Amino acid sequence: MTESALWAIVTGVANVILVLAAAPFCEGIIRKVTARVQSRQGPPIWQPYLDILKLLGKEDIESGESPGLQRLSAYLSLAAVLTLAWFVPMGAAAPLTKAGDAILVIYLLTLCGVSTLLAGLAAGSTYSLFGVSREMMAMLTLEPLLAVGVIVGAVETGSLRLDDVLNASVYSLAAWPLAGILMLVVLLFSLQAFVGRVPFDTAEAETEIMEGPLIEYSGPKLGLFKYAQMSKLFVYCALLVGLFAPWGSQWPYPLALLVLLAKIGVLVLLITLVGATHARYRIDQAIRYYAALFVLSLVALTLALVGF
């Protein structure tokens, strides 16, 4: 085993632990800030940890059409997110940059969504199928956005290698990195949708289709899904930071981590505030919104191709 491989494993495991430890904390911040916006006291900031512990400790009930697939999708959802964490720089360089490229990252991102689809299909209730169809519609229009985001970087550097793409490549080429800035704006506007928060939580929509794909889940499996959702939020924010705002990530280890956490904190705050001040969109309205963003991202891609 070479030293670099060992290093990759160490940082990778460190990333996974970081995600698992910090994700519920982000959720706690979201809940607390939302509560304050709503003039409420709000739950203690460590409540999400307790929630997850409680869910994991409950009886594992097997129900629905295909219990095996349900279990698989629960594991898959968390596994996909945690695998993704190996490709995102968190305080240090991304652990597995040598092993994969930008395409793999896009696949992993899609896999997160696919696990939700599987969960809904496996549950097989009418409401979860509605959730699945909405999630699928959203995925079809959303995933290209992120793909374009990664590819813009690839175009700028002329390489699909992850370490090249991640290192602020989007701003590297032109004096006025229009493509990068445009893409950053687009991704900021779509971040809410990626993490499935109000106003884009159409696939879960508690008051319409009762948590959609997750309607049949309870106990540990629900705990895993919830954990995966929280982790997804953290990893997506980290990825966004890695792609578009990596300033400070070259600093020595603890400092770089703090900078990253601060930036993620800002993003989480943004997500919270947008979520707290909007009503949920209907799926057709959401799709129209995504489509507009997609057009913008294509413009960014074109700009990148012509060298801005």
Partner 1 sequence: MISKLKEAVICLKAGKVTLPYPFAAEPVPARYRGRPIFNVERCIGCGGCANNCPAREILLSDVCQEIRIMRYLGQRCTYCGRCADVCPEHAITMSGEFETATNDKRDLQQELEVFMGTCQRCGRCFTAPGPLEQLMMKGYRQDDLPAGRWVYKSRSFLQSEGLPDIEIELD
Partner 2 sequence: MPARNVLNQIKERFEPSILRVDVPSDNRLFLYVTPGVVRDICNHVFRDLDARYVVSIGIDDRPYSGQFTVAHNFGFEREKVLSSILVNLPADDPVIDSISPAVPAANWAEREFRDLLGIEPVGCPSMKRLVLPDGWPEGVHPLRKDFSWDLKPAKFDENKVFAFDDPPEGCVVVPFGPFHPTLDEPAHFRLYVEGEIVRGCEYRGFMVHRGIEKLADTVLTYNEIPMMAERICGICGCVHSVAYAQAVEQAAAIEPPARARFIRTIMLELERLHSHLLWVGLANHILGFDTLFMQSFRMREPIMWLCERITGNRKTYGLCVIGGVRWDITPEIKDDINRILDQLEKEWIAAAKAVQGDRNLQKRTKGVGIADAALVKDLGLIGPIARASGVPQDCRRDFPYAAYDQVDFQVITQAGCDVWSRVLVRVLEVFESIRIIRQCLEKMPAGPIQLQLDDELPPGRIGLSSIEAPRGEAHHFVVTGEENRPRRWRVRAPTYQNLQGIPAMIKDQQLADMTISLGSIDPCFSCTDRLEILDIKSGDVRVYSQQEIVNMTRRV
Q: Taking CB within 5 to 8 Å according to partner kind, which of partner 1, partner 2, none is near residue 62?
A: partner 2
Interface residue list for partner 1 (CB under 8 A): 36-41, 277-278
269 binds partner 2 (CB under 8 A): no
Residue 36 CB, nearest approach to partner 1 (Å): 7
Interface map 120-149 toward partner 2 (x if CB under 8 A): ------xx--x--x----------------
Q: Which value, in Å, is the radius of gyration of the alpha carbons in the chain?
A: 19
Q: Is the dihedral of CA 211, 52, 84, 191 positive or negative?
A: positive
Nearest-angstrom CA–CA distance, 304 and 176: 11
How near is the Cβ of 300 to partner 1 at its closest, in Å?
Answer: 23
Region near partner 2 per CB under 8 A, out of 62-70, 88-96, 99-107, 172-180: 62-70
Largest CA distance in the chain: 59
By C-beta, is 61 or 298 nearer to partner 2? 61
Query: Which residue in the block uniquely carries the two structure tokens 């629960």?
Result: 74
For partner 2, give the closer residue by CB, 27 or 164. Answer: 27
Q: What is the DSSP code string of 254-295?
A: HHHHHHHHHHHHHHHHHHHHHHHT-PPPPHHHHHHHHHHHHH
Q: Which does 226 bind (CB under 5 to 8 A by kind): partner 1, partner 2, none?
A: none
Torsion over CA: 273, 49, 76, 84 (sign) = positive
For residue 35, the minimal CB distance to partner 1 (Å) is 8
Asked if residue 129 lies in contact with residue 277, where contact means CB atoms within 8 angstroms, the answer is no
With contact defined as beta carbons under 8 Å apart, do 235 and 81 qualify? Answer: yes
Binding positions for partner 2, 155-214, rule CB under 8 A: 198-199, 201-202, 205-210
**Of 157, 137, 132, 135, residue with least CA distance to 65:** 132
Residue 20, SS3 per DSSP: helix
**Residue 294 binds partner 2 (CB under 8 A):** no
280 lies in the site for partner 2, by CB under 8 A: yes
Binding string, residues 8-47; x marks residues near partner 2 by CB under 8 A = --------------------------x--xxxx-------
In angstroms, what is the minimal distance from the CB of 294 to partner 1? 22
Instruction: Please report how close the Cβ of residue 14 comes to partner 2 at its closest, in angstroms.
Output: 36
Q: Which of residues 226-265 bind partner 2 (CB under 8 A)?
A: none
Is residue 124 within 8 Å of residue 55, measured between CB atoms? no
Give the C-alpha separation, 20 to 246, whole Å: 22
User: Which stretches of the chain bind partner 2, using CB under 8 A?
Assistant: 34, 37-40, 61-63, 67, 126-127, 130, 133, 198-199, 201-202, 205-210, 276-285
